[in-house]
Structure 1
């Protein structure tokens, strides 16, 4: 995801995250995806080969109840943006999952998403996700600085599912005002539940899929200063277009998230 258009910069970022779910009512849309089996979240195993002393998560959510927890999340809203548009109406909680429903709202394609209130430098982020098929939409889980460009330009995408059939996803690290980037591709069927994760520590960024390491990056693009927030977003992006087979509404689901602070021994 490039540092372009409406989502770049402190003032613009603030404009995007204006509504908590409770304030818009989180009106639901029925999803064609079924809810996860009971116990999926608690059965997820910790990634291997990382520090043993991560401790308890500092932020977690199993998305129980009927509304998004406004103490933990802001709703992404940018209905008139030139790219990465989004409306609050597409975000709702039901059946123990967070539903991010992109599609046609008011005659225009709009995405849906949430942003964690928690911002931290270094740690581990995990999310259990899946996504419906549909050309033109990208299901994403990524870290974005609280203040882009102050003190640095950085972004870590630990799930950027660009393919319309959801059979592959991208891993990206963005760096610098000129948006340099490095990337890898994972080949996974994201129409099924998978746990994606990333460890961001001094000198390295390590990506995980279902508890297995997929990429350990130690190059110069590792962020070093920016406090990061977790974004979960189902988005229509600039340059992406729906086709005749694209459904009117496309759902990305999130079963649970866990965020850990980096242990002092790893800093």
Structure 2
């Protein structure tokens, strides 16, 4: 009986039993190549600092006068990447963070998987996306994002050249750990959740130029058409946490 009491106390302190911020090993980072795919990046954030493979954002998010990217909000500890969102009195705005592979992995087509969870916090949105390495926009592939309204639905959007969008969404509790992913091939995109394809796009608007992977959270301004903004209900700290990331390149036919 005493052992179970101790276990219950540990779970309460670490919030590790089902709902917490300590990742279980139920979904360990994949190793090796896959059929048709060659692994080109993997990171389980086992150290105490961000790997040189990543570039941390710093400064004003494009098109968002209320937000700010602060590299200090990106930390690695306990096998987890944490991207913190918090109000900065000195700047009088909410600051978040983001990282990109633009210094280490830039490719046309690929397969990506990210194991993550996010704290509840109105107005602090997250996004996992593929962004053109030449910074032209569009295109953009958002394979997992929300608008800061809640953590019960994930949105995926292709921003195509010319301004059109191809949108999909699926429901789950994203305060819990999940693996989200995308398979990007010529004229086709498949979105995955916990290893299962939940939406597929076959369209000539699918991007065909080199892109980098980005992981970020962001505080948006009030009055935006889709994203929510922080309010009195928003906790002082809202964390986006990532357990691991893997990326693959297509093998030659």
TM class, shorter-length:
0.7 to 0.9
Runs of 4+ in 1 over 3 A off after TM superposition: 79-82
Match runs of 1:81-120 below 5 Å: 83=64, 84-105=67-88, 106=90, 107-116=92-101, 117=103, 118-120=105-107
Which of 211, 224, 227 in structure 1 is aligned with 2:210? 227
Which of 116, 120, 138 in structure 2 is aligned with 1:129? 116
Deviations 1:149-191 (A, max 9, x none): 3xx7311111012243300010100012x53211011101100
Equivalent residue, structure 1, for 2:173 = 189
Which of 67, 87, 91 in structure 1 is aligned with 2:49? 67
Any unmatched runs of 5+ in structure 2? Answer: 1-13
Which of 208, 219, 239 in structure 2 is aligned with 1:251? 239
Which of 29, 37, 58 in structure 2 is aligned with 1:77? 58
Instruction: For 2:61 and 2:229, locate their aligned partners in 1 and report how far apart those are by CA, in whole Å.
Output: 17
Deviations 1:103-134 (A, max 9, x none): 21233111211111311011101100110011
Q: Check if 1:262 corresponds to 2:247.
A: no
CA-atom RMSD in angstroms? 2.2
Instruction: For 2:187 and 2:204, locate their aligned partners in 1 and report how far apart those are by CA, in whole Å.
Output: 8
Instruction: For 2:179 and 2:62, locate their aligned partners in 1 and report how far apart those are by CA, in whole Å.
Output: 30
Any unmatched runs of 5+ in structure 1? Answer: 1-30
How far is 1:139 from its partner? 1.3
Equivalent residue, structure 1, for 2:139 = 154
How far is 1:39 from its partner? 6.0
Q: State which structure, 1 or 2, has the greater radius of gyration over its C-alpha atoms.
A: 2
Equivalent residue, structure 1, for 2:3 = none
Instruction: For 2:29 and 2:154, locate their aligned partners in 1 and report how far apart those are by CA, in whole Å.
Output: 25
Equivalent residue, structure 2, for 1:3 = none
Q: TM-score, normalised by structure 2?
A: 0.82
Q: What is the SS of the residue equivalent to 1:119?
A: coil
Which of 220, 226, 248 in structure 2 is aligned with 1:237? 220
Equivalent residue, structure 1, for 2:7 = none
Instruction: For 1:85 and 1:206, locate their aligned partners in 2 and report how far apart those are by CA, in whole Å.
Output: 31
**8 A contact 1:163–1:169 mirrored in 2:** no
Instruction: For 2:115 and 2:199, locate their aligned partners in 1 and report how far apart those are by CA, in whole Å.
Output: 18
**8 A contact 2:129–2:143 mirrored in 1:** yes
Equivalent residue, structure 2, for 1:10 = none
Which of 202, 220, 227 in structure 2 is aligned with 1:218? 202
Q: TM-score, normalised by structure 1?
A: 0.78
Matched residue count? 224
Instruction: For 2:60 and 2:206, locate their aligned partners in 1 and report how far apart those are by CA, in whole Å.
Output: 32
